[in-house]
């Protein structure tokens, strides 16, 4: 076999690890819909596709923010939705609430799996604050709520199985505990899917990385521990010395674990340390997590120079590749810091699924 070819094939055994949607369409402003008590609520209209999912963002007059998230498949059908702010005030009210219904109806859209409500505040709130389902006459039901306070910001996250009017209240801690105990056992999982490819600039080598990533949280809560797998294929093509070499690897980690929690935006002038500095402000995630992929596997290197050619089996060097998971509405971005390559991005989605 040609000496230069042997040199080329040897290159294939060098370290190679991993080296080896839908947003709702705003339709416009609808006519005010009267409440049973109080003045009419001006409404905005949105269109959300069931199979794409989407999120609706509202800026409240009191300075708070609301995001209503429909994961992929959460809606039973495509829906035209009307949303309006409830301008309530009072010492026990943390922010204005909202009213949401299907256009032409006084009912919310039908859900197959939970939707999410996220309230955001540019201040630190007492942790005894909760998302609540509003009733007539000032009554309300407490909804189990994740409260995250960090760097001068607060985030409230609640899962809901139907829509009416929702807001926030400061509550007795005992009421929050009772709401958690009364919550029905979940019969679904939260599942993250990422199936995506990325082309990496590696100088004289053309490299394509394809990632199949799935992780499941069986707690019924979008936040918490996820377990799954990462399978990757790397295709490496290089031309040099008058010839061509291909090195294709299959690498994997069948025990990927990480935790996801509500993301609280960093306060102004605080140096970013979460790997999201490249994202636009409006793309900051609702949930965030990080972990490490421990990748291993093997491949085949093939070389040809002129009339000479050959191939050999090669082992990919084991690697530990840190990653972050950013969940924004129903969408997921997986950012993997690949050994010897740097940060590479893969996109996917999250949804609830029946067991």
pLDDT (0 to 100) of residue 281: 41
Distances (CA, A) of 173 to 22, 91, 95, 124, 145: 37, 17, 19, 17, 12
pLDDT recorded at residue 353: 83
Name the residue among 21, 22, 45, 46 with its Cα closest to residue 32.
Answer: 45
* Token pair 């939707």 in the structure block, residue: 115
* Domains of the chain (ranges, CATH numbers): 3-21+188-354 (2.40.160), 25-182 (2.60.220)
The pLDDT assigned to 193 comes to 96
Which ranges constitute the DSSP H helices of the chain? 3-11, 173-182
- Residue 128 is encoded by which pair of tokens? 């005894």
When computed from its CA atoms, the radius of gyration of the chain, rounded to whole angstroms, is 25
Cβ 303 vs Cβ 309: under 8 Å = yes
Q: Are residues 126 and 93 in contact, defined by beta-carbon separation less than 8 angstroms?
A: no
Instruction: Please state, as a whole number, how many other Cβ atoms lie within 10 Å of the Cβ of residue 225.
Output: 15
Q: Which of 217, 240, 219, 237 is nearest to 227 (CA)?
A: 217
Residue 109 tokens read as 């859209």
For residues 314 and 12, the answer to whether their CB atoms sit within 8 Å is: yes
pLDDT value at residue 267: 42
Low-confidence ranges of the chain (pLDDT < 70): 1-41, 185-186, 202-203, 240-243, 264-283, 304-309
pLDDT for res 283: 62
- The average confidence (pLDDT) of the chain is 80
pLDDT number for residue 306: 63
The SS3 assignment for 54 reads: strand
* Interval 157-207: pLDDT, tens: 898 988 889 999 998 888 888 888 877 766 788 999 999 999 887 667 788
| pTM for the full predicted model | 0.75
């Amino acid at each position: 076999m040609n000496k230069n070819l042997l040199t080329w094939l040897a290159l294939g055994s060098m370290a190679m690890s991993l080296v080896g949607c839908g947003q709702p369409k705003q339709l416009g402003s609808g006519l005010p819909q009267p409440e049973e008590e109080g003045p009419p609520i001006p409404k905005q209209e949105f269109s959300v596709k069931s199979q794409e999912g989407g999120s609706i963002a509202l800026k409240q007059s009191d300075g708070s923010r609301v995001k209503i998230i429909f994961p992929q498949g959460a809606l039973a059908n495509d829906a035209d939705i009307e949303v309006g702010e409830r301008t309530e005030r009072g010492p026990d009210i943390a922010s204005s609430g909202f009213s949401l219904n299907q256009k032409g109806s006084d009912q919310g859209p039908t859900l197959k799996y939970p939707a999410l409500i996220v309230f955001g505040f540019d201040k630190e709130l007492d942790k005894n604050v909760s998302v609540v389902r509003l009733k007539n006459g000032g009554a309300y039901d407490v909804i189990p709520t994740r409260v995250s306070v960090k760097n001068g910001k607060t985030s409230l996250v609640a899962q809901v199985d139907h829509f009416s009017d929702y807001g926030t209240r400061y509550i007795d801690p005992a009421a929050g505990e009772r709401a958690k105990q009364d919550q029905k056992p979940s019969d679904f999982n939260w599942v993250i899917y990422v199936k995506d490819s990325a082309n990496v600039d590696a100088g004289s080598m053309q490299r394509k990385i394809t990632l199949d990533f799935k992780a499941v949280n069986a707690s019924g809560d979008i936040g918490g521990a996820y377990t799954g797998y990462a399978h990757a294929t790397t295709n490496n093509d290089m031309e040099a010395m008058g010839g061509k070499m291909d090195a294709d690897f299959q690498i994997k980690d069948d025990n990927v674990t990480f935790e996801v929690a509500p993301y609280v935006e960093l306060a102004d002038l605080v140096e970013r340390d979460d790997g999201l500095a490249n994202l636009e402000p409006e793309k900051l995630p609702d949930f965030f997590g990080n972990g490490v992929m421990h990748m291993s596997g093997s491949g085949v290197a093939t070389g040809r120079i002129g009339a000479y050619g050959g191939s050999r089996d090669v082992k990919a060097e084991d690697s530990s590749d840190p990653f972050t998971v950013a969940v924004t509405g129903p969408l997921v971005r997986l950012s993997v810091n690949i050994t010897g390559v740097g940060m590479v991005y893969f996109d996917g989605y999250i949804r609830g699924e029946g067991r």
